[in-house]
Amino acid sequence: MDIKDVKEIKIMQHSVRLLQIPYLLPTTKEMNDPKANIYIKYLLVNISSIYFSIGALLHMIFNLKKGIADHIDKDIGNILSYHGASYFLFRYMLNLRSIVLLFKQFSDFKTFGKPNKFDERNERINKWSKIYIYYHSCIIITMLTPALLYIPQCKQENLEKNLEEVCGLPMATWLPFRFDNFPVKQIVYLYECYAVLVVYQTAGFVSFTILALCEHLVLRFEHVEDELVIALNEKDRVIRRQKFYKAIQYHQAVIEIGALLNKCFSPCMMVHISLTGPFIGVIGYTFLTHIPLDSTALLIGWLISTYIVCYGGQRLMEASISVGNIMHRIHWYDLETDIQKDLILIIIRSRFPIYLTAGPFGPITYSTIVTILKTSYSYVTLLKQTM
């Protein structure tokens, strides 16, 4: 596809604006030539939140040295989720230039025209984007506020078990000085809120972006199918042949976009899928004794993020296969022999679907969810036997 004339991104306008805030996409002016400073800005923002995880790790280590194993499962869950989300974003940034190229290819309507339902579908995705960001903000708030509600319970537990936990923080952390007083504790609380927004909020929205891009690729496959039907139902033989071969070129171009989509997000999905099982297992082990609101919110957020990418992958697979299911929409028996042979090749090619993959873990579809839940159950069983 020719993207030299594409000067602006014409898809997912709401998502693009949100991704530009944490430097996950370049500004509109730099979209055609992303500068190195966007990587520097992203790294500075991400590194500024890293003590969120380091503090949890040090808290767990010092407690274990004292022989205190209370809430170790929560520490492990926080460390896993933070590093998983952070590395997920890091792999995204490594492919930023390819991701920008992907956005521009979806914005090219000059080469093969605009899909018939583009405006309607794009508007729907923008609405989903707004709903998702509101939902995810509610998840984040639910992660951050329960600690304030549990302060009396935390203080009582400190007295009963002779602990020195700082009550009222979203996540237990360690500092080389006492910080259970005003305003230091409030500053630590605000820092943890900031770290959660920087990592979890942005990672969650990247998951939605993957779903939205899959939807735009689904739309392109639907457009290919429509163009093939229009071409093959054309009465004039010369025009039919011209339209048919252009539709074939379009199909090949959309397949190449699918390959680019995989190049951009397969490493991200590998991180996502490989850590989702252990994380859900740790949280599931926590639920055997009690069900904390903050861990529940984090679990729900992680599960929804996993589901939406699996949903996008399933939709993409089905749409790429459906291109070959056009025989009932055309009078194939009236076509020339050479076109019939080319049509057979299209049908054969469509039997090899385009997948969203997770590296060596294979395609991302609904079956991935079942695999993850099985893995999570194994981790719950292992933790139950060893802890």
Token pair, residue 269, equals 């999905």
In sequence order, what DSSP letters do the residues of 173-224 get, joined into one string?
Answer: ---SS---STTHHHHHHHHHHHHHIIIIIHHHHHHHHHHHHHHHHHHHHHHH
Q: Rounded distance, CA 46 to CA 58, Å?
A: 19
The reply to whether omega before 353 is within 30° of 0 (cis) is no
pLDDT at 2: 61
pLDDT at 353: 92
Q: 171: Cβ–Cβ under 8 A, 6 or more apart, which residues? A: 52, 55, 56, 74, 78, 192
In sequence order, what DSSP letters do the residues of 226-277 get, joined into one string?
Answer: HHHHHHHT-SSHHHHHHHHHHHHHHHHHHHHHHHHHHHHHHHHHHHHHHHHH
Q: Which of the 8 DSSP states describes residue 363? A: B
Q: How far apart, in Å, are the Cα atoms of 114 and each of 2, 13, 230, 297?
A: 14, 17, 15, 40
Q: Which of the 8 DSSP states describes residue 323? A: T
Token pair, residue 382, equals 């292992």
Token pair, residue 93, equals 């940034």
pLDDT at 124: 95
pLDDT at 250: 95
pLDDT at 16: 94
Q: What is the pTM of this model?
A: 0.92
Burial level of 282, CB count in 10 A (0-12/13-18/19+)?
buried
pLDDT at 302: 85
In order along its 387 residues, the chain shows pLDDT tens digits of: 667 667 788 999 999 999 999 999 998 888 877 777 899 989 998 899 999 999 999 989 988 888 887 778 778 888 888 888 899 999 999 999 999 999 999 999 988 999 988 999 999 999 999 999 999 999 999 888 888 888 888 889 888 888 888 888 888 899 988 888 889 999 999 999 999 999 999 999 999 999 999 999 999 999 999 999 999 999 999 999 999 999 999 999 999 999 999 999 999 999 888 888 888 888 888 888 777 888 888 888 888 989 999 999 999 999 999 998 888 888 888 888 989 999 999 999 988 999 999 988 889 999 999 999 898 889 888 877 776
